[in-house]
A and B are shown apart, each in its own frame.
Chain A
């Protein structure tokens, strides 16, 4: 089932105008076909360009190791009921996806404010390749990360988890979570599937600030 959660906005960087976007709970075949038919070819072109120009796959967040690990991890999920997936659509395209989990070993807080408290863990937050400043020269839409992190926090509140969320930022996105969203930087994982990735949490005490603070 794919259900509209709400209408939100994304900023079209090219026109400078906000456009109405739709946030869905659940995905369907259309989202899969966008990812396979529109996201994937652009990733492949960009990976080939990166190889040719001496950039690393890490520079563009497209490392085979992480991808293979994630592919296997998702395929191995035997209890999809613990997962929520959200699709952000705008301009007839899937602009970003968010997958969250409540109930795995990653879903316990590491924050000193409430160690081991239940929370929503972000399995992945992925934006379309044409929206990524590190991947393309002129990215199209801005704001997908803000919408989806707001969604994860909302889900955590709805699930009576106090708005607590945790995630592993990919290289290049640490600044977004630490300085823009205001999450606590709890250091780099030294073992486990997220080895080398920096872990961030939004503790309950910061949730209200996150939802009310304006620039």
Chain B
């Protein structure tokens, strides 16, 4: 994210602004309500968690193949950093930022929660989604144009994500 103000603007205003309170919204008096906003990557997956196929990297890669986008083009379309797309594709255990998950979900037209289920930070998973993810994970992941069969698998998987409740 880029800041749309300059250092000069900031220094000048801070110097000249009156010395008054600026609190807004609800008064934060402790950390407890913020626990579930701490980076998902910091939540270690439980050891007894069931085996889940890591498919987010594959979903993103095939999404680019379907729409014939480079990483930079996809990043620009969903307004995230191209480096993060590269990291998602390269590291199946990488947990993207919530905003990235939201932007990807919005682009795919599926609930953000469904995309979160494809990351290693997911706490639980719907059986049907696990099944769909296994089928999808077994599909090809080369970077050429999607074949008809791959396109069908991709579409079926997106449908399963869209139906995630």
Contact = CB atoms under 8 A, between A and B. Distances in A.
B124 interface: no
Contacts of A13: 19
Contacts of B19: 13, 133, 139, 142
Nearest to B17: A180
A69 B17 contact: no
Interface string A153-187: 11101111001000111101101110010000000
Given A35-B30, A158-B1, A176 B11 contact: no
A125 B75 CA distance: 29
Contacts of A27: 34, 37-39
Given A6-B3, A180-B18, A214 B25 contact: no
B1 A154 contact: yes
B23 A126 contact: yes
Nearest to B111: A79
Contact of A67 (B4, B20, B26, B101): B26
A82 B37 CA distance: 11
A215 interface: yes
A92 B41 CA distance: 23
A113 interface: no
B113 A32 contact: no
Interface stretch (B92-100, B134-142, B143-151): B92-100
Given A8-B10, A143-B17, A214-B12, A70 B99 contact: no
Q: Which residue, of B4, B8, B98, has the highest number of chain A Cβ atoms within 10 A?
A: B4
Given A82-B102, A142-B14, A125 B35 contact: no
- Residue of B1, B5, B26, B99 contacting most chain A CB atoms (<10 Å): B26
Contact of A150 (B10, B29, B79): B10
Contacts of A52: none
A188 interface: no
B38 to A, nearest CB: 6
B122 interface: no
Contacts of B36: 75, 77, 80
A3 B99 CA distance: 12
A212 B25 CA distance: 26
A8 B7 CA distance: 7
A165 to B, nearest CB: 10
Contacts, number: 226
Nearest to A37: B31
A90 interface: no
Interface string B89-127: 000000111110110010000001100100000000000
B17 A170 contact: no
Contacts of A139: 19
A1 interface: yes
B79 A83 contact: no
A66 interface: yes
A79 B114 CA distance: 11
A215 B27 CA distance: 30
Given A70-B26, A124-B24, A124-B25, A143 B14 contact: yes
Contact of B39 (A28, A153, A170): A28
Contacts of B14: 9-11, 18, 142-143, 146
Contacts of A153: 4-5
A61 B23 contact: yes
A176 B20 CA distance: 7
5 contacts: A36-B32, A83-B98, A158-B79, A176-B18, A215-B12
